[in-house]
Amino acid sequence: MVQVDLEIPSSFNPFAEAKDSGSTWGKDYVHIRIQQRNGKKSLTTVQGLKEEYNSEKILKSLKKEFCCNGNLVADEKLGGKIIQLQGDQRKNVSNFLIKAGITKKEQIKIHGF
């Protein structure tokens, strides 16, 4: 019988680098996520916009631009407001935020499948 000496890699923690840096985790980025509802239905959430911007006006502009419905949700855990839009609007929202000058391309994190 042949014995093979293999090293099994330890588990990779993608958040270890962010925790070690000492900065406030996730405060610098705008997170755009998709949440699956039932069937083909989905929600797009935008989180992490600076408080100096009026979230209600941004929501109104997004709804008008993409012809979809949306909602503004207050999150007590993170202390901010979350914009919810109907459908998969991740690319549209990121392009809109960059074009409007609200965020830079490097500050946007797009999550989802």
Look at residue 19 in the predicted model and tell me its pLDDT. 46
**Structural domain span for residue 70:** 23-110
Eight-state DSSP code of residue 72: E
pLDDT digits (tens, 9 = 90+) for 64-79: 999 999 999 998 777 6
E-only strand ranges, 1-113: 30-36, 42-47, 70-75, 80-86, 108-110
Q: Is residue 86 part of a domain?
A: yes
CATH of the domain at 68: 3.30.780.10
State the average pLDDT for the chain: 83
27 domain-assigned: yes
Does residue 2 lie within any of the structural domains?
no
Instruction: Indicate the pLDDT class of residue 62, thresholds 50, 70 and 90.
Output: very high
- pTM of the full structure: 0.73
Number of domains in the chain: 1
Residue 53 belongs to a domain? yes
- Residue 9: inside a domain: no
User: What's the pLDDT score for residue 65?
Assistant: 95
Residue 112 has pLDDT above 80, yes or no: yes
Burial of 47 (0-12, 13-18, 19+ CB in 10 A): buried
How many angstroms separate the CA atoms of 35 and 86, rounded? 10
Res. 96: pLDDT tops 60:
yes
